């Protein structure tokens, strides 16, 4: 069986999900939408991806640019089994009535509220809960990173409580109109930031409090975790626990990977397209145990970490497989994760 996938919104996340869908043997990319005929639309079309106009009134812009498009968003939705909404935060929710009218399953991203879908997803944590669902929200990049490491720690040792400081990149690399450019911004200044409650949408039993800062950086987010476990764990125990998850990659500062820019250089040297690293990165040397109380520092490549989760959400919702392990294996192998 092959599932027909439409992507509404072909920006940072949409283009990466599109590329990942093209790599799945059990999925077919029926098309993507663009609001305007910019270079991304032209590149997609040049790669043989069918491009549709997200806004019908903008079709004339494509005509004026001499770019042939395949039709309107509605034309695209008519051909799909499922749509992955990758429009900007809060815009996705406005499309839900349209998806419902087309009787389409839909995946929303982390910029939407949990309530838009009623189910927040992370493959390793709650794949089975998404099986057969019509609406699912793949949680944000920061929440995805936290879910991966907290799930692994909880499974191995039990978590009594987690306290996390998030240092967030101010903007994605192409977003030159966003800031901050010379400031460290408590984002928000109040505690908790939305990330802790968001983790609890996926892992409701975890006692977590988060606080976040936005900084003038575009490459990655960094999280400092202080976790109280339910039983003692040594640094080696913790490294052993993380090592069994292909979507967690341990790196060593001793190898020269001592910063987010070092991680990105590593991704380039691995030959990763767009220097994407969908794996959560944890610095080995940052893992420190005081018996039950542990510390670690992790980094999240915000533009790509949610991509494998979107692919697994498609499999769960359309029942391509009801096995989380099988879905994650297929996704990881196709995207080269864990190698």
Ligand X SMILES: NC(=O)c1ccc[n+]([C@@H]2O[C@H](COP(=O)([O-])OP(=O)(O)OC[C@H]3O[C@@H](n4cnc5c(N)ncnc54)[C@H](OP(=O)(O)O)[C@@H]3O)[C@@H](O)[C@H]2O)c1
End-to-end CA distance of the chain: 28
Segment interacting with ligand X, rule: CB under 6 A, options 9-17, 42-50, 124-132, 316-324: 9-17
CB burial class (10 A; 0-12, 13-18, 19+) of residue 155? middle
List, as one string, the DSSP characters of 44-88: HHHTT--EEESSGGGHHHHHHTT-----BHHHHHHH-SEEEE-SS
Among positions 23-42, residues that touch ligand X (CB under 6 A) are 33-36
Closest to ligand X by CB, 58 vs 323, is 58
Report the alpha-carbon distance of residue 139 to residue 313 in Å, rounded.
11
CB of 221 to ligand X, least distance (A): 9
Among positions 112-151, residues that touch ligand X (CB under 6 A) are 112, 140-141
Among 86, 125, 141, 147, which one carries the catalytic annotation?
141
* Residue with the shortest CB distance to ligand X: 11
| Backbone angle region of 28, left / alpha / beta, with phi > 0 → left and psi within -120 to 50 → alpha | beta
Place of tokens 């240092």: 167
Inter-CA distances, 120 with 125, 197, 275, Å: 10, 12, 27
User: Which of 18, 49, 86, 164 forms a contact with ligand X (CB under 6 A)?
Assistant: 86
List, as one string, the DSSP characters of 158-171: -EEEEEEEEEEESS
Closest to ligand X by CB, 70 vs 239, is 70
User: Which of 65, 67, 70, 91 forms a contact with ligand X (CB under 6 A)?
Assistant: 91
Which positions from 160 to 199 touch ligand X by CB under 6 A, shown as an x/- string? ------------x---------------------------
Residue 86 catalytic? no
CB of 180 to ligand X, least distance (A): 16
CB of 240 to ligand X, least distance (A): 29
In a 3-state reduction of DSSP, which class is residue 110?
A: coil
CB of 144 to ligand X, least distance (A): 7
Residue 222: strand pairing partners: 167, 299
CB of 247 to ligand X, least distance (A): 15
Place of tokens 């500062």: 253
- Which residues contact ligand X (rule: CB under 6 A)? 8-14, 33-36, 54, 86-89, 91, 109-112, 140-141, 172, 302-303, 306
């Amino acid at each position: 069986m092959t599932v027909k996938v439409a992507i509404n919104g072909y920006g940072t996340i949409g283009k990466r999900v599109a590329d990942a869908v093209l790599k799945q043997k059990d999925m077919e990319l029926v098309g993507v939408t663009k609001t305007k005929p910019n270079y991304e639309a032209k590149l997609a079309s040049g790669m043989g991806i069918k491009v549709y106009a997200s806004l019908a009134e903008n079709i004339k812009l494509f005509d004026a640019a001499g770019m042939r498009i395949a039709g309107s968003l509605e034309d695209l939705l008519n051909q799909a089994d499922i749509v992955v909404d990758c429009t900007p935060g809060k815009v996705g929710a406005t499309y839900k009535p349209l998806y419902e009218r087309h009787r389409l399953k839909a995946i929303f991203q982390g910029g939407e509220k949990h309530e838009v879908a009623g189910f927040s997803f992370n493959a390793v944590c709650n794949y089975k809960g998404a099986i057969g669902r019509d609406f699912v929200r793949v949680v944000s990049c920061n929440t995805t990173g936290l879910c991966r490491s907290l799930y692994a720690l909880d499974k191995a040792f039990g978590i009594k409580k987690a306290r996390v400081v998030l240092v967030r990149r101010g903007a994605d690399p192409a977003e030159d109109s966003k800031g901050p450019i010379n400031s460290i911004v408590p984002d928000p200044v109040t505690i908790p930031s939305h990330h802790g409650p968001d983790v609890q949408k996926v892992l409701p039993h975890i006692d977590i409090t988060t606080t976040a800062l936005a900084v003038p950086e575009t490459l990655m987010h960094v999280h400092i975790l202080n976790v109280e476990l339910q039983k003692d764990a040594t640094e080696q125990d913790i490294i052993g626990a993380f090592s069994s998850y292909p979507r967690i990659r341990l790196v060593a500062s001793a190898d020269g990977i001592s910063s987010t820019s070092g991680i990105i250089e590593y991704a380039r040297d691995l030959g990763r397209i767009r220097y994407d690293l969908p794996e959560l990165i944890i610095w080995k040397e940052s893992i420190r145990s005081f018996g039950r109380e542990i510390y670690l520092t992790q980094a999240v490549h915000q533009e790509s970490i949610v991509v494998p989760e979107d692919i697994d959400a498609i499999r769960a919702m359309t029942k391509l497989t009801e096995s989380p392990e099988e879905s994650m294996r297929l996704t990881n192998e196709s995207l080269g994760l864990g190698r």
